[in-house]
Amino acid sequence: MIHQLIFAAPKPGMSVQEFQRYWVEEHAVRYAAKIPQIKRYAVDTTIPQPGENALWSGVAEIWLENEEEQLASLQTPEFLEGARLDEPRWAAFWQSVVLDTDTEVLVQGEPESAVQPGVKLIVLGKRREGMTREEFRRYSRRMHVPMITGLPGVRRFYQSFTRDAWYSVSEPPFDVAYHIWFDDLAAVAAARQAPAMAAVLDDRRHFLNEHYVHTLLVRQHWIIGPEAR
């Protein structure tokens, strides 16, 4: 299953609030959700944080069965005459970043069909110079992941590695996205202040290029799902 992540920002002149409302209530429902190959679809809207100026204001999460289904989706009238034409009405498409990933479930938590944790941290990372993809993924799985699972309040935790096919064309902007769910903003604040978080942040220097680490705090809105259609 391909887990595609699309990071997007509002077009000039549109507020973050208008952008997020249009994405969740208009674009997602009227256009993107009608693409028949999409199995599951969620929109994650960012939550403002003091002192932070995120490059993006939302993330689309799209699940597709395989590469053939993905290619077919880009040739449908629902995409070509619908979702694609609608994008310039609300998104600064030149700022968008797209990643196709393989996602590993590290902390299952409650079933996704049950009550959802309230907020999620998405952390994007690029591997340190001189480190191969294999070394990077091995370090993340063996060393970094146990540190994150040890944070207080983690309700669910997924790790998404950029798919190998992307590296055959060029070096993608990011190698990994971590998805870390918490009950609420208070739980995120407690985790950030915990000694275990200091260890997580310190560990990044061993395998991540700190210049390319981006953190977004978001709420997830299911458009199709969480059960696949």
Cβ pair 141, 122 in contact under 8 A: no
pLDDT confidence band for 54 (50 / 70 / 90) = confident
162-186 pLDDT, tens digit per residue, is 999 999 988 999 999 999 999 999 9
2-224: what CATH class?
Answer: alpha beta
Tell me whether the omega of the peptide bond preceding residue 77 falls within 30 degrees of 0, making it cis: no
**What distance in Å separates the CA atoms of residue 117 and residue 217, rounded to the nearest whole number?**
13
- The structure tokens listed for 35 are 């693409």
Distance, CA of 8 to CA of 131 (rounded, Å): 28
DSSP state of 3: E
- Tens of pLDDT, residues 82-94: 999 999 999 999 9
Model confidence pLDDT, tens digit, residues 151-162: 999 999 999 999
* Every domain of the chain and the residues it spans: 2-224
Q: CA 4, CA 163: separation in Å to the nearest integer?
A: 10
The answer to whether the predicted template modeling score (pTM) of the entire model surpasses 0.75 is yes
- The neighbour count for residue 144, using CB atoms within 10 Å, is 21
pLDDT > 70: percent of the chain: 99
Mean pLDDT for 20-26 is 98
Cα radius of gyration (the chain):
17
What residues form DSSP beta bridges with 214? 124
CB 59 within 8 A of CB 5: yes
